A and B are shown apart, each in its own frame.
Chain A
């Protein structure tokens, strides 16, 4: 679903208005960056890929059409494709040890909290690509079933089944680590 304000921005961006695209960039850049970072596990590479996603979006925005496919789904599709290309060219998948603790919690942030988040990111990295997508879109980005299903190009029913499995698997990974 595309809200009225976003639809106006998209139309203006299609007409070449740079400021409209800038507004869309501001709306989605953090989400796309987060999505990519949690999948590739490295900040600089996530920044490069994020840049490529938005560059591709700006260069091809004239091809975007409002045919029941939201702008959000479109830009996430570009991100997913860029990640697929990234894995094709990269010899090894992400090194989980490359995960950096980016969260700026300041001097009073609980160290245990930071370690928990670090372990969580490493656990996500152990999931399959589709499981990672589901976990990030549904439980990190808090997208509803309909939005997530549209991005992943699967039915809501299938998404429900897969998200249940993904959460269970993630819990299992973390439990195994905790037992150690």
Chain B
């Protein structure tokens, strides 16, 4: 009886996948990796080309935060909480940028690349507006802080997409 069972089990080797499906599956698999690598390369190249934008953006953020930090330290009222907040934002932006740098070495999903490009443009725009605002004007300081927070949130979103 046992021999019969073992023979029957071995006969299940006849189970085979559909040939058409197998060929299509292989073609898709080989093509998908090529697309991911190609777009990863394109995105990295894009980032290299816009290095000036990205670098100046980063420097701008840090400078602005520093200006806000100093300006807030001379303001009466809720200055302590705003100073602490500006400090937190600065730290979290640094962390996000470090994480993005790490993730750029990994393959990136095709669908995420164009969205990340849009997000980077938005982040650059927020910084540009913040830079144009007069940091000496106390009323504008809150808006500057808000723009910097928006930039941080966008970088966090990019980081999350890269980390998927």
Contacts and interface: CB of A to CB of B under 8 A. Distances in A.
Interface of A: 18, 21-22, 25, 29-30, 33-34, 37-38, 46-47, 50-51, 54-55, 58-59, 102-105, 116-117, 120-121, 135, 139-142, 167, 170-171, 174
Given A50-B17, A167-B5, A140 B29 contact: no
Nearest to A55: B29
Given A55-B29, A170-B5, A171-B5, A34 B13 contact: yes
Specify the main secondary structure of chain B where it touches its partner: helix
A142 B15 contact: no
Range, interface on chain B: 20 to 34
A135 to B, nearest CB: 7
18 contacts: A34-B15, A38-B12, A47-B25, A51-B25, A58-B30, A58-B33, A59-B33, A59-B36, A102-B15, A117-B11, A117-B12, A120-B9, A140-B10, A140-B12, A167-B5, A167-B6, A171-B5, A174-B5
Interface string B3-29: 001101111111111100110011011
B32 interface: yes
Contacts of B11: 117
A47 B15 contact: no
Given A47-B21, A103-B14, A140-B13, A117 B8 contact: yes
B164 interface: no
Contacts of A54: 25-26, 29
Contacts of B163: none
Nearest to A29: B22
Contacts of B12: 34, 38, 117, 120-121, 140
Given A30-B16, A38-B15, A139 B26 contact: no
Contacts of A167: 2, 5-6
